[in-house]
Amino acid sequence: MTTAILARPTLGQRLAGPWHASVEFLRLLSRRPVGLAGFIGIVFFLLLAFVAPLFVPFQNDPSLVDIYQTPSAAHPLGTDFQGKDVLNQIVFGGRDILTVAILAALVSTVIAITFGSIAAIIGGRIDTTILAITDVVLTLPKLVLLIAVAAILRPTSFVFLAVILGLIQWSSLLRQIRAQVLSLKERDYVEAARSLDLGLIHIVFREILPTMRSYIAIHFIFATTDAMYAQVFIVFLGLVPVSGSNWGIMLYFAQGQGALFFRDSIWYILSPILAITLVQLSLVSFASALEDIFNPRLRGSA
Amino acid sequence: MTALIELDHVSRAFATPAGAITAVDAVSLALGRGEAMCLVGESGCGKTTTGRLLTGLLRPTGGRLLYEGKDVWLTKGADLARFRRAVQLVHQDPYASLNPTRTVFQTLSAPLYRHKKANSSRQALAAVTELLKRVDLTPPENFVTKYPHQLSGGQRQRVAIARALTVDPKVIVADEAVSMVDVSIRISLLNLLLALAKEFGVTIVLITHDLAVARYFARRGRIGVMYLGRMVELADTEALVTDPAHPYSAALIAAIPEADPDITRSKTRVELRSAEIPSLLSLPPGCTFHPRCPLSEAGLCDVKIPELLAIPGAREVACHVAVRERTGARAAVTA
């Protein structure tokens, strides 16, 4: 036991660490069927969006004889107004949506954690300033602001769009992180760390933030869902240049081409909606299980 | 002997919505190396605040905190960091004082790395093992990978003490450190703290509301009795327990239950005039104890605040009447 901690890890042991962590993760997850279902859904959509396009040929040629077909063996989800395969578009349309959503959530979470903890820990004038800015951002009507920003800046790249979404979203999370850190920094173990002179970096990243892991992860997931909706929303409204393929663009065209009004085209408009809904549902149900997974009480007890 | 750490007329006031309260009022206390002393008093008497003032976690609103003769709150940088490490606090609640997400090894090794006492995981583990042995958590390898929730209250408190020891402190302030652990392991924790004082010359201040604990812990040291933010008596434990000078100490001592019911019954209880503790928001004038004090004298005790004065018998007491009776009429006429 003692030697196990001491010895320089071999390659096998190095691999064993993450392997154990993964097994542990799945064990804890398996206790929460809803969370497990969500996790499977997330894995499925990640594979669909990032791996499947590597194996499936992209079909972009209009075929006038196949317009608005109902599902069949050749077109499992039917065809669109140009006779293109809908399933193919679903497969190729996920990557951008998910990348932007995750990137935007990352941007907003990093902003919220950094400035939320700075405000809470340093306090004083810095706290007041950060809070004032946050409150202003918090009161801005997000969607209207998003429309305005998108209309003015015309984000051409999806990374740019992600950053804009992230910059709009951070405010409520920042307030919550600040409140949490304010209460956590009064804990006895933080006081002990102060009197042991462990330094601010240690206190924030080793003592305070780890106890907020589940909290942050859950918020990250909800930020992802928010970013996804917002993004589909502005793409749907045609506020970003329409190019490439993603689920939002599918909706944009489906609506624009009146797919709503034909019985046979219902699969065309429903498919992206269903895809978006299922991703959101998976994320939210996975989030519900995170509380358990991060709880140290449930770890390592097997 | 010069004091290692000293409170010099230290006060601390807090602003509350209902008005300012003075939690600690001009408390003076000097501690030498390796001394084991106790601060006792009922809840709200300012003993915890005094402990936090001693550790420098709270800034006094009046008076000075001296460490090795230097005013701590005037020192900066490396000196201040040295003081911070030299004085450690062990909290009352071992469930709250350890980070639930960190293992015992992580908790104990962080200060070792930070202060260059260990540079490799091998050294850190050796040092952590040594610390765990010192606080009687044996065999140490059973504990290093444990999370706090996997330990009992007493074990956690030992880990908390071990954590304080990582930085080789000169002073440990143990704030009600044994109050929340099981009675059966209190003695062993107290003995552990006493051993630290004896073997490593660590000065230990135990803050407690339990006079029985104080009497055991400070049997070779002193006990300070606090009442509503003021030190009312500071005396050698034996002297205080057998012959308390301040009426408040006398009342506390008389209230300790004895194992033998005959003794308890035959004890003369000190009759207080009131069982109510005055609010800190509206302290009585003069001696804060006078509304409850059996010795209170109108025109003296309710007017003039008594100073903590040395009287014969290795003690200091803040009581007009006790000082007059024990030193002869000479001292009291200064009013």
Q: B70-89: per-residue pLDDT in tens?
A: 898 898 888 888 888 899 99
Across the interface, which of A6, A202, A300 has its CB nearest the CB of B122? Answer: A6
In chain B, which ranges are E strands?
A: 5-16, 19-31, 36-40, 62-67, 70-71, 87-90, 171-175, 203-208, 222-227, 230-236, 309-311, 315-317
Cα distance from N-terminal residue to C-terminal residue, chain B: 33
CA of B167, closest CA in chain A: separation in Å? 7
Q: How many CB pairs under 8 A join A and B?
A: 85
Q: How many CB atoms lie within 10 A of CB A87?
A: 17
- A298: closest chain B residue by CA: B149
The residue count for chain B: 335
CA distance A18 to B264: 63
CA of B141, closest CA in chain A: separation in Å? 6
CA distance B50 to B58: 9
Band (A53; pLDDT cuts 50, 70, 90): confident
Band (A116; pLDDT cuts 50, 70, 90): very high
Report residue A276 CA to chain centroid gap. Answer: 12
B166 chain-A contacts, CB cut-off 8 A: 196
Residue B334: pLDDT over 70: no
Report the pLDDT averaged over residues B181-203: 88
Across the interface, which of A6, A211, A299 has its CB nearest the CB of B99? Answer: A211
Asked if residue A233 belongs to a domain, the reply is yes
Band (A301; pLDDT cuts 50, 70, 90): very low
Determine the pLDDT at residue A69: 73
Structural domain of residue A247, as residue ranges? 18-57+84-298
**Quick one: which of B268, B242, B246 has its CA closest to B255?**
B268
pLDDT tens track for B240-250: 888 888 888 88
**Better pLDDT: B330 or B305:** B305
Determine the pLDDT at residue A128: 93
CA distance A144 to A194: 45
Across the interface, which of A2, A192, A199 has its CB nearest the CB of B89? Answer: A192
Asked if residue A44 belongs to a domain, the reply is yes
Chain A, 130 to 149: residues with Cβ < 8 Å from chain B are none
Determine the pLDDT at residue B332: 45
A252 touches A235 (CB < 8 A): yes
CA of A288, closest CA in chain B: separation in Å? 20
Determine the pLDDT at residue A110: 92
Q: How many CB atoms lie within 10 A of CB A262?
A: 14
B46: left (phi over 0), alpha (psi -120 to 50) or beta: left
CB environment A109-128: b (16+ within 10 A), e (fewer)? bebbbebbbbbbbeeeeebe
0.85 surpassed by complex ipTM: no
Contact B110 A5 (CB under 8 A): no
Tokens representing residue A227 in the block: 């970013």
Q: How far is CA A81 from CA A52, A70, A265, B11, B207, in A?
A: 24, 12, 8, 81, 80
Task: State the residue for tokens 């706290």.
Answer: A127
CA distance A268 to A272: 8
Question: Per the structure, how many domains does chain A have?
Answer: 1
What are φ and ψ of residue B28, in 5° steps?
-120, 140
DSSP B120: S
Q: Hey, is the C-beta of B279 within 8 angstroms of any chain A C-beta?
A: no
Asked if residue A69 belongs to a domain, the reply is no
Band (A127; pLDDT cuts 50, 70, 90): very high
A255 touches A269 (CB < 8 A): yes
Q: Which of A130-134, A174-178, B293-297 has the lowest mean pLDDT?
A: B293-297
Residue A215: pLDDT over 90: no
Q: Hey, is the C-beta of A299 within 8 angstroms of any chain B C-beta?
A: yes
pLDDT tens track for A21-38: 788 888 888 888 888 999
Across the strands, what pairs with B227?
A: B230
CA of A200, closest CA in chain B: separation in Å? 12
Domain ranges of chain B: 242-335
B63 touches B26 (CB < 8 A): yes
Asked if residue A116 belongs to a domain, the reply is yes
Determine the pLDDT at residue A243: 66
Report the pLDDT averaged over residues B177-196: 86
Determine the pLDDT at residue A4: 47
Chain B, 240 to 259: residues with Cβ < 8 Å from chain A are none
CA distance A167 to A184: 26
CA distance B181 to B142: 21
Per-chain mean pLDDT for chain A: 82
Band (A11; pLDDT cuts 50, 70, 90): low
Report the pLDDT averaged over residues A16-22: 76
Contact A196 B166 (CB under 8 A): yes
A202 chain-B contacts, CB cut-off 8 A: 110, 114
* Dihedral sign of CA atoms B60, B64, B70, B73 in order: positive
- B161: closest chain A residue by CA: A192
Q: How many CB atoms lie within 10 A of CB A14?
A: 11
Determine the pLDDT at residue B335: 43
pLDDT tens track for B13-54: 988 888 888 888 888 899 988 888 999 988 888 888 999 899
pLDDT tens track for B252-297: 888 877 777 777 777 777 778 777 788 888 888 888 888 888 888 8
Q: Which of A15-29, A241-255, A288-302, B187-201 has the lowest mean pLDDT?
A: A288-302
Contact A189 B96 (CB under 8 A): yes
Q: Hey, is the C-beta of A189 within 8 angstroms of any chain B C-beta?
A: yes
CA distance B126 to A98: 48
**Quick one: which of B326, B333, B266, B264 has its CA closest to B295?**
B326
Determine the pLDDT at residue A133: 93
Q: How would you class B190 by CB atoms within 10 Å of its CB: exposed for 0-12, middle for 13-18, buried for 19 or more?
A: buried
Residue B199: pLDDT over 90: no
A58: left (phi over 0), alpha (psi -120 to 50) or beta: beta
A267 touches A70 (CB < 8 A): yes
Q: Which of A72-86, A103-117, B147-161 has the lowest mean pLDDT?
A: A72-86
Determine the pLDDT at residue A7: 46
B141 chain-A contacts, CB cut-off 8 A: 1-2
CA distance B11 to B99: 31
Cis peptide before B139 (omega within 30 of 0): yes
For an interface test with A, the pick among B99, B120, B149 (most A C-beta atoms closer than 10 Å) comes out as B99
Determine the pLDDT at residue A2: 44
Determine the pLDDT at residue B177: 82
Q: How far is CA B37 from CA A119, A188, B190, B191, B216, in A?
A: 40, 23, 12, 13, 11
Contact B114 A211 (CB under 8 A): no
CA of B221, closest CA in chain A: separation in Å? 26
Determine the pLDDT at residue B1: 53
Report the pLDDT averaged over residues B133-147: 88
Contact A297 B149 (CB under 8 A): yes
**Better pLDDT: B113 or A300:** B113
Secondary structure (DSSP) of chain A: -HHHHHSPP-HHHHHHHHHHHHHHHHHHHHT-HHHHHHHHHHHHHHIIIIIHHHHS-------GGGTTPPP-SSSTT-B-TTS-BHHHHHHHHHHHHHHHHHHHHHHHHHHHHHHHHHHHHH-HHHHHHHHHHHHHHHHS-HHHHHHHHHHHH---SHHHHHHHHHHHHHHHHHHHHHHHHHHHTTSHHHHHHHHTT--HHHIIIIIIGGGGHHHHHHHHHHHHHHHHHHHHHHHHTT-S---S--HHHHHHHHHHTTGGG-GGGHHHHHHHHHHHHHHHHHHHHHHHHHHHHH-GGGTT--
Across the interface, which of B110, B141, B149 has its CB nearest the CB of A202? Answer: B110
- Please give the share of chain A, as a percent, with pLDDT higher than 70: 91
CA distance B191 to B38: 14
Asked if residue A148 belongs to a domain, the reply is yes
Asked if residue A73 belongs to a domain, the reply is no
Q: For residue A266, what is the domain's CATH number?
A: 1.10.3720.10
What are φ and ψ of residue B228, in 5° steps?
45, 50
CA distance B64 to B82: 18
Determine the pLDDT at residue A1: 42
Q: What angle do CA B86, B87, B91 make, to 5 degrees?
A: 140
**Quick one: which of B22, B8, B73, B103 has its CA closest to B280?**
B22
**Quick one: which of B213, B246, B216 has its CA closest to B228?**
B246
B164 chain-A contacts, CB cut-off 8 A: 192, 196
Across the interface, which of B87, B97, B149 has its CB nearest the CB of A192? Answer: B97
Across the interface, which of B85, B106, B163 has its CB nearest the CB of A197? Answer: B85
Band (B328; pLDDT cuts 50, 70, 90): low
